[in-house]
Amino acid sequence: MASPRATISIIKCLSPQKIHNVSSIRQALSPKSPATKSFRQTSSPKTPIRNSLSAENILNGLQSPIFKIDTPYKRRIVNEGLLDECRTVLGNGAFGTVYKASYKGKEVAAKVIKNNKRIDSSIDMEKEVSFLRHSNIVRVLKVDEGPAMTLVTMELCGNSLQNILEQNPIRSEERIFIWISIAEALKYCHKMGVVHADVKPKNVLMGSDNQPKLADFGSAIFIEETETTSVFHGTPGYAAPEVVRGNIPTPLSDIYSLGVLAWQMLSRTPPFSGLHKHTILYLTGKEKPSKRIQARKRYKIEKKVRDHNKKLKKEAKKHPKKKQKIIQVPNQCPFKEDILKEVEALKKQKEEEKQKRKEEAKQRKRDELEKAGLAGLVANAENKQMEHDSLETITDSNKTEKFGKKEENSLKAYYKEFKKVLDEADVILEVVDARDPLGTRCKQVEEAVRLAKGNKRLVIVLNKADLVPRENLDQWLKYLRKSLPAVAFKSSTQDQAKRLGRRKLGKKSEENIQGGTCFGAELLLSLLGNYCRSTGNTKASIHVGVVGLPNVGKSSVINSLKRSKACNIGNTPGVTKSMQVVQLDSKIKLLDSPGIVFENSKDADASAVALKNAVKIESLHDPFTPASVILKRISTHQLMEMYDVTEFTTPEEFFAKKAARMGKFRKGGIPDTLAAARSILTDWNSGKIRYYTVPPEDKNTHVSASILTSSLKEFDIESFAAEEKMVLDGLASDSSKSILDPLEISSTGPVESTMDVEGENESDVKVQSKKGKKKKKVDDKKNVPVQRKKKVDPIFEIEGNQQLNQIKKLAFKKQKKQAARSAKKAGVLADVLSGVNLKTDDNYDFKTDFSIK
């Protein structure tokens, strides 16, 4: 039996009035006592009772009888809203009071709600969500509406999670079980299109079997609702920030409330506990502060930073860093004098060696002058004059060399990458241009493959085969196969990064032949697969190196075989800087290498290199020479039709007319012939000007036939004759779409040079560079920019662009300066020669005795 103090505390909770002067428990519990009367008066929904009662905590018959909902008394409740007798109150909320009742012989919970406009939407929602059926949701049996009250009948549950948390802490297993159960209930609600919008411990009830159940759907809404209302959904502290800001609750809002519920089960207190609800709403709904600061504050910070830096500089001046002292020999060292003497002798020896080298250099110069005599002095003066003139049109040699290395990198480094590919590869694919296979074929590459360690195979790939006629392609294949295996190929020119188009063998319909589709990939893959199988019974893994001159399409061939853009590509040489490894399949790896241009002479033909697209067009100092070579190979009528220009007689006239047609003009309305010449080279290299070469009649294969003999078994192209015919037919139909007929020209011949195998001589490779920005020369004495002489532009020599007065003035000025310069040199040279005596014993200083200013 409970103690009297416990019973009195229960009675105090039942009545809003305080009980004074209670002499005994029976008097307090009698029907005539003030406590009982106050309990009867406050049992209506107007003044709900705070605590809940049950059979375990009601003493000596305090529990009132439950009423039956399925009797006429229910009609009186919903019509009049009054209760004559004291009923068992299970709990209360913002919208009504929950009583214990019976329905169809079972104990249920009856929620009595007083009707008003503010809670009509909640009543409607309780009625609409009554279809929810889940083991973790309180089931709503029926909803009865009346003029005064609304009676909601639901299944009976025990205590709420809020009361459980206030009494004792919950074990971790129970917390996890409760949280998972409520999460399952919310998942079911969201699946049915309902958002609870008020998840909190007070709305989590424990069933008869200790099963957590979610209750009170008065604030719930449907997910498809988009109309905004002024009604706040939820409870401060549990509502999500977006709901506090006025947005409609979403399933994410329920997840936020579920997280708050987990927090409260761990800490037994909700977030922002003890604060006013307005403060809670503010803290929940406030957004992140802006990063912007006031101007006065920003200026204040900048001022403090300046003051701080100023202070540091001032301190640094007071305490400057002292230079590191030279470590001296300590006085206690027994051999100090000997050590100092050795150091002094070593310094003196180095100084003498340095002076001796200077004297030897001077003596060599004197000997060269004595051997050369007067003719040598004149030749030396002419060489210096030529060097001086070259400086007027070309920037300083050091700057040019530095800029060239930046633009083109070092060809020596490119050769090292080529050596890596050659060492790792089992098969070498030498990619050549089908328009000029002999001109883009490198003899030294084939020789390096033949001399390399291991039994390496070499295959020639005629890329850009769609740019030449079918008959010419057959002739080149027949010619090249006398020495090496050769296949025709056309790389894909599509722009997408993946799934590049490839023409399958056997499909000859015109709709399958597209301009950007790849041809010949399957034939080349078949040859490589045949080589893998030829090594043994099982298919072996191989490395395939792809080499060739710049811009012949090495990276494009790899991308076409891979059917994705695995390597960077571009229409300018030098895009590939180092070796790249591309995994084609489980057995084949492709090795991409940078292109190399080898030259064995300083006077190599720059025009031939430019026509092979081996250097960048922008880096050419003289694009007119190779462009003029192109014009000589094409008839005047074809050029007029191709570029829509009038008749011309000289290349300079054509460049001027083409620049005007392009809209390229320089200052003064003069046509930009430099841009026109570069555009001709661009059209030549890009394929707009179609051309082809004819194979030579001689049988010179340029490579030993031993390579072909050893590679016939693995690369038997005759076994793939049918597939090759399909590829060539597709290429022929694709190349026939061209408007202009290709031009037949003579080949420039294979690239020949002495390859720097050891990589020590960097001067053997030629680096083309762009011309850097010229800086104005400044006179050191007067600090005034030096005005350079203006040269006559070759464009003025074209008919129609002549400016006679200006040309006459420039020519006269140039002639006058040249005469003065020659007279000065002659006078200085005569003075020098008059004082030179080869038989004298006096020391001759080249700097002091011979100086031409």
CATH of the domain at 234: 1.10.510.10
**pLDDT, tens digit, 9 for 90 and up, residues 651-699:** 888 888 888 888 888 887 888 888 888 888 888 877 777 778 888 876 5
Residue 614 pLDDT: 66
806 within a domain of the structure (yes/no) = no
Residue 435, pLDDT > 70, answer yes
591 falls within a domain: yes
Over residues 592-601, the mean pLDDT reads 63
Domain end among 126, 156, 186: 156
Do residues 255 and 131 both lie within one domain? no
Q: Which of 286, 308, 341 is the last residue of a domain?
A: 286
- What domain range is 104 assigned to? 67-156
Strand pairing class (67-68; 96-103)? parallel
Q: Express the helix, strand and coil content of the chain in percent, nearest 5 each.
A: 45, 10, 45
Are 475 and 570 contained in the same domain?
Answer: yes
For residue 45, what pLDDT band results from cuts at 50, 70 and 90? Answer: very low
CA atoms of 821 and 852, how far apart (whole Å): 11
pLDDT bracket for residue 41 (50, 70, 90) = very low
388: confidence class by pLDDT, cuts 50, 70, 90: low
**605-647 per-position pLDDT tens digit:** 566 666 666 677 777 778 888 888 888 878 888 888 888 888 8
Q: Are residues 576 and 471 part of one domain?
A: yes
Q: Angle 721-735/470-480 helices, nearest 10 degrees?
A: 140
Work out the pLDDT band at 522, boundaries 50, 70, 90: confident
Residues recorded for the chain? 853
- Mean pLDDT over the full length of the chain: 71
Per-residue pLDDT band for 721 (boundaries 50, 70, 90) equals low
CATH number of the domain that residue 116 is part of:
3.30.200.20
Residue 271 lies in a domain: yes
Residue appearing with tokens 């049996």:
141
**Residues 129 and 186 placed together within one structural domain of the fold:** no
CA gap 124, 117 in Å, rounded? 11
The average pLDDT across 743-756 equals: 60
DSSP letter for 512, please: G
Asked whether residue 83 carries a pLDDT value surpassing 60, the answer given is no
Q: Are 181 and 146 contained in the same domain?
A: no
Q: pLDDT confidence of 305, banded at 50, 70, 90?
A: very high
State how many domains the chain has. Answer: 3
Handedness of CA 528, 530, 532, 535 (dihedral sign): negative
Residue 353 has what pLDDT?
94
Asked if 432 and 558 sit in the same domain, the reply is: yes
Residue 25 in contact with residue 4, Cβ under 8 Å? yes
More confident residue, 596 or 131: 131
Within a domain: 716: yes
Tokens standing for 722? 């049918």
Mean pLDDT of 407-421: 68
Residues 143, 268: one domain? no
Clarify whether residues 171 and 80 are in a common domain. Answer: no
The whole-angstrom separation of Cα 100 and Cα 67 is: 8
In a domain, residue 539? The reply is: yes
Burial-class residue 805 by CB neighbours within 10 Å (0-12, 13-18, 19+). exposed
Q: Is residue 835 domain-resident?
A: no
Most confident of 85-99, 193-207, 772-786, 833-847: 193-207
Judged against a pLDDT cut of 80, whether residue 601 lies above it is answered with no
Task: Spell out the alpha helix ranges (H) of 15-119.
Answer: 25-29, 34-41, 73-80
* Region 252-263 average pLDDT: 90
Q: Which amino acid is residue 681, in one-letter code?
A: L
Annotated binding-site residue? 111: yes
Each residue's pLDDT tens digit, 157-177:
888 888 888 888 888 888 899
The Cα 160–Cα 140 span in angstroms is 17
Question: Is residue 343 in a domain?
Answer: no
Looking at the fold, whether 108 and 247 belong to one and the same domain comes out as no
Assess whether 197 and 88 both reside in one domain.
no
Nearest to 217 by CA among 111, 146, 115, 135: 111
| pLDDT for residue 301 is more than 90 | yes
User: Quick one: pLDDT band at residue 298, thresholds 50, 70, 90?
Assistant: very high
When pLDDT is cut at 50, 70 and 90, the band that residue 727 belongs to is low
Tell me if 219 sits within 8 A of 253, measured CB to CB. Answer: no
The CATH number given to whatever domain includes residue 504 is 3.40.50.300
Cβ–Cβ < 8 Å for 727, 505 = yes
Query: Lowest-pLDDT range, 11-15, 236-240, 322-326, 749-753?
Result: 11-15
Distance CA 811, CA 790 (A): 11
Q: How far apart are CA 751 and CA 443, in angstroms?
A: 6
* Same-domain check for residues 148 and 172: no
The pLDDT, as a whole number, for residue 302 is: 95
Catalytically active residues, by annotation: 198
- Given this model, what pLDDT does residue 349 score? 94
With pLDDT > 70 as the criterion, what percentage of the chain qualifies?
62
Q: Same domain for 145 and 252?
A: no
Q: Residue 200 CB: number of other CB atoms within 10 A?
A: 21
Angle at 260 between CA 257 and CA 262, to 5 degrees: 115
> Residues 221, 166: contact at Cβ < 8 Å?
no
Highest mean pLDDT (candidates 11-15, 18-22, 270-274): 270-274
The sign one gets for the Cα dihedral 488, 494, 498, 499 is negative
Instruction: Report how far residue 613's alpha carbon sits from residue 554's, in angstroms, rounded to the nearest whole number.
Output: 14
- Select from 102, 130, 156 the last residue of a domain: 156
Report the range of poorest mean pLDDT among 368-382, 417-431, 702-716.
702-716
508 within some domain: yes
The model carries a pTM of: 0.40
Q: Is residue 590 a contact partner of residue 581, using CB atoms and an 8 Å limit? A: yes
Query: Which is higher by pLDDT, 510 or 830?
Result: 830
Across 214-223, average pLDDT: 84
Looking at 120-129, 136-145, 189-198, which range is the least confident one?
A: 120-129
